[in-house]
Structure 1
């Protein structure tokens, strides 16, 4: 009998190599721009655009990726975020700004994040955390119950929960740094030793170093890894750890995989246009007349 040859294993990370090279090339160009032209904004844009292009290419057409602001039904608007990912079919364009950034309905947003070429200032993480905390406090959208199943037009409820989370539409946030040369252990301790996980990004990526994730503390001390993708909802003791993935290729690949895990497990609602218009326009009876 002829021996059946086993299938080869695909080196998945290598298929992210060309995206990695584009991001690193953008980083090198950003360094040239800052040293020769002293243009800080243009320097940062090079890396931001490269990461945005990577996500756009990988996630299109189901998901839409751009920078911009998030708006909720009360017309409150978030600060500008470098990366916002939304459901393409559920997010009719509210407005495109002159710089090509957009306004996103909060109901259609899966995640948002910041991209930095390097850890060039001590307060970069702290500043993002402040904007993150403000956004979670100020922006409102209806939670989708954990026992809800979406269908093409609406959805229905079942008896059993589909997730251990209290909702099916959690927001996911991240920071992405290309270079970590100025990062110290004190910087990490200062930012990640706080008790309030809802004030921290779900993951923090240092392309040349690894990914900061949240894990179950007891299992970690027993030599096991149980990743908490949504630390703010964890009740058991948890800690932040740096995951060393050896190569930049592996870091970029795993960042993408964690993002896909969130996108695949999240169900979003649709914006209720009546709620938005009720805030935009005055519908008092004095503004109507009988014909």
Structure 2
């Protein structure tokens, strides 16, 4: 079986992390789209495992959580009329939890935005933290039961509930967002410090995610056609963001700032990690046939 040179694999992974679409990567790297797709799957699985194993025992003080919207195959309102839409087509939400100090993405989850996903997300987050934290979320009600179930009373939890009005007259249009006219801080559990009740870092990380991944860009044809590929790309992005990308303020990676890594990873390290995680081809046995020699 032919294998791409390390430099070519590094080029493809780098372009994925820099927001290029799969077809543009295929053209620039001069490889087939199937090659890019296979590397995406292999890299996604390896990166998900790497994050699960290494982002543990995080000693954070303040954690912010948020959700970012995207869609798979078609927007939710168009799924009913879409041709051959898969079961997972429609709105796709990515839940993220970020350490406000190190900027480490502690936990992530791709799926729906209901209470079931909220509970799975909070259970995963709680299992990765080494100490009691101050937690801030937006006003999404699914967090209430999920935080209680995951942390019990061992958390200082507050909600930042934003209030919206109509879009300004000068900015009204098809894609004009509602105007945020205020926000209130609600203590839910423990004793959260009102000065640090904020989701600003989580929202800023979501902006980075939307700009770095073609699949999240609004008004584009680069959206995910398969839910699994969307999830694989988030896994790759998370390892790149945590372990490879230098944070401008810290001058080190978020993983190094959080103490979960002691070295700077390179894209070559990611490619080697993917190779090591890939299943090894088995030995080829003798050719078997049902025909009798005659």
Q: TM-score w.r.t. structure 2 length?
A: 0.26
Relative to its length, the structure with more strand (as a share) is 1
Relative to its length, the structure with more helix (as a share) is 2
